[in-house]
Structure 1
Amino acid sequence: MSKVRTIKTIDEAILLRNSVLKSAEISKLNIISMISNNSALDLMYNLKFKEVGIEPLENKPINLIEQLNQMFTYLVSIEAVIYLMKIYPGMSFTLNLGTSSGYDVESVDQTVIAETFSATSPKSNGKLKKDVIRLNANDNALHKYSFYYSDVDSPVYVENLKRAFPNVNIIKISLDNHIK
């Protein structure tokens, strides 16, 4: 299954989001079974080295750590598309998920571009700054966005980037509706 998706409606984005969330439920059941049937060390070994996770789009076994990284990035990308579809009604967007080339989110006409990620902090690995610099360098897109999710707030860091790159909209995505 391709990790490049064109989304034409918010309902399509919601269906994709539900598919990603379903993979988390499958992995949860796998982990519950592993907890019951393994010693502590075997459990940790399996979580780190075995394919106990489910790839969020292709529904095939993968390493749990990889699933976590992909799943949260996909969720941010999907929430970004929903956000953009509300601002630009009638516009279709291409999601470049995983290691697909191009911007993470692009309008089909390429007037809107966005990068997305999730991390422990917006400062992690300089990802937010790198994304903002990349977006800012694009002279063709009319609207540029950097969407991120982090459990940590870094308001001064984010505000400094917004001031340094006023042509890029930096938006923290909430996943509160999905996380209890």
Structure 2
Amino acid sequence: MKQRSLSTVEEAIALERSVARSAGKALAQITELYEQSDALRTLWEMKFRPIGCDPLDSATPLNVIEQLNQTFTYIASARAVVTLFGLHPELAPFHVNLGNVAGSDVESCSPGKLACEVFAAVNTSNNQKLNKDLAKVAASGAEHKYVFFMCPGVSVGRQFKLERIPGVQVWAVGDQHER
């Protein structure tokens, strides 16, 4: 299921750990494949076959490139929820839309109170993702508006210099996979 309702910080951390376990399974598959083949064949398999698994369900095969993209967005989403528990505990539980699900990436159980977009990228200007998410959140009618992201070299915390639209806060949730 690509939608989750997270009622506690512990549930958000458990989501991140579950995604990490799926990453471990994928890495084991890649290692086994490489041990039985050569580098080019291994890369070919990773690109074109379901070598890897769904980050939310390790029993479901998935192309490793897709797993990579989803994994860090899901981790960023879990960390965004942890931050939101600190900022707005009264708005819990938080509904997290993982994958291609309509609506904001993170919403409050109280309609119209919270809209958040979340992404993980090499940098904040990659594919204009930050600008697109800022515009999407700004257009929402939510009372509280956020964009959360994970990028290398950007430490955890509010990113005032990236807040280009009044009323939309921008937060980095980390620049590494580790907590």
Give the TM-score normalised by structure 1.
Answer: 0.89
* Preserved contact between residue 46 and residue 52 of structure 1 (Cα < 8 Å): yes
Q: 2:114 matched to 1:115? A: no
Alpha-carbon distance between aligned partners in 1 of 2:34 and 2:57, rounded to the nearest angstrom: 25
- 1:99 is matched with 100
Q: 2:166 matched to 1:166? A: yes
Q: 2:142 matched to 1:146? A: no
Alpha-carbon distance between aligned partners in 2 of 1:145 and 1:85, rounded to the nearest angstrom: 13
Query: Over aligned residue pairs, what C-alpha RMSD do you find?
Result: 1.7
AA partner of residue 133 (structure 1): A
Q: 2:43 matched to 1:41? A: no
- 1:134 is matched with 136
Stretches of structure 2 that go unaligned for 5 or more consecutive residues are: none
Alpha-carbon distance between aligned partners in 2 of 1:147 and 1:89, rounded to the nearest angstrom: 17
Stretches of structure 1 that go unaligned for 5 or more consecutive residues are: none
SS in 1 for 2:122: coil
- 1:10 is matched with 9
SS in 2 for 1:169: strand
Alpha-carbon distance between aligned partners in 2 of 1:159 and 1:81, rounded to the nearest angstrom: 19
* Preserved contact between residue 97 and residue 103 of structure 2 (Cα < 8 Å): yes
Q: Deviations over 1:102-128 (max 9, x none)?
A: 000001103111000011110011110
Give the TM-score normalised by structure 2.
Answer: 0.90
Alpha-carbon distance between aligned partners in 2 of 1:16 and 1:161, rounded to the nearest angstrom: 28
* Preserved contact between residue 81 and residue 94 of structure 2 (Cα < 8 Å): yes
Aligned-pair CA distance for 1:152: 4.8
Alpha-carbon distance between aligned partners in 1 of 2:142 and 2:116, rounded to the nearest angstrom: 10
SS in 1 for 2:96: strand
Give the paired residue count.
172
* Preserved contact between residue 47 and residue 63 of structure 2 (Cα < 8 Å): yes
Moved over 6 A (4+): none
Alpha-carbon distance between aligned partners in 2 of 1:38 and 1:94, rounded to the nearest angstrom: 43
* Preserved contact between residue 55 and residue 67 of structure 1 (Cα < 8 Å): yes
SS in 2 for 1:141: coil
Alpha-carbon distance between aligned partners in 2 of 1:99 and 1:122, rounded to the nearest angstrom: 20
* Preserved contact between residue 122 and residue 152 of structure 1 (Cα < 8 Å): no
